[in-house]
């Protein structure tokens, strides 16, 4: 019985894909990052800026992002980026809108974009972020 070369190429390619998928699972690659608790959010913030010491934070109910502030009044947002987290310190260009428990924060950086969090204190976080605009004029 002779196997057509195209079928053989397909079978070998399929076997290689299955083997690579199995290797990725064994190495625990991929997956979806989530902020499970305050410790996770603080760890992510320290990876964004060394020495950022959060004194207050709000984690989204789904664990996809967080807003943190430090003792100096700096505010950082963290959001899921692939299977990791990315973050930015907010400046005068940032703004926030609260609608009930929904907080939408625009970082002021076009490439970073915005995040949306579900948190009970959305209004107080929006006020704090919007007050950053006044710091640029001080």
The CATH number covering residue 117 comes to 2.30.29
Residues 32-41: contacts with CB within 8 Å, 24+ apart? 32/80, 32/83, 33/80, 33/82, 33/83, 33/84, 33/85, 34/62, 34/63, 34/64, 34/80, 35/59, 35/60, 35/63, 35/64, 35/65, 35/66, 35/78, 35/85, 36/63, 41/66, 41/68, 41/78
33 assigned to some structural domain:
no
Number of domains in the chain: 1
Check residue 137 and give its pLDDT.
47
63 assigned to some structural domain:
yes
Which residues, at least 6 apart from 42, have a Cβ–Cβ distance to it below 8 Å? Answer: 54, 57, 68
Check residue 135 and give its pLDDT.
67
49 assigned to some structural domain:
yes
What is the domain extent for residue 121? 38-135
15 assigned to some structural domain:
no
121 assigned to some structural domain:
yes
Residue 115 bridge partners (DSSP): 105
pLDDT string in tens for the chain (138-residue length): 788 889 999 999 999 999 999 998 888 777 777 888 888 888 889 888 888 888 999 888 888 889 999 988 899 999 888 778 889 999 999 999 999 989 999 998 888 888 898 888 889 999 999 998 876 544
**pTM of the complete model beyond 0.75:** no
Check residue 104 and give its pLDDT.
93
């Amino acid at each position: 019985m002779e196997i057509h070369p195209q079928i053989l190429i397909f079978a070998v390619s399929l076997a290689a894909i299955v083997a690579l998928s199995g290797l990725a699972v064994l190495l625990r690659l991929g997956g979806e990052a989530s902020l499970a608790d305050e410790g996770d959010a603080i760890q992510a913030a320290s990876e964004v800026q060394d020495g950022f010491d959060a004194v207050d934070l709000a984690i989204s109910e789904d664990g996809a992002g967080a807003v943190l502030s430090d003792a100096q009044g700096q505010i950082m947002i963290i959001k899921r980026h692939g299977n990791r987290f990315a973050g930015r310190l907010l400046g005068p260009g940032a703004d926030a809108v609260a609608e009930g428990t929904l907080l939408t924060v625009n970082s002021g950086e076009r490439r970073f974009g915005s995040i949306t969090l579900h948190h009970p204190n959305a209004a107080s976080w929006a006020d704090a972020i919007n007050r950053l605009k006044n710091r640029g004029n001080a």
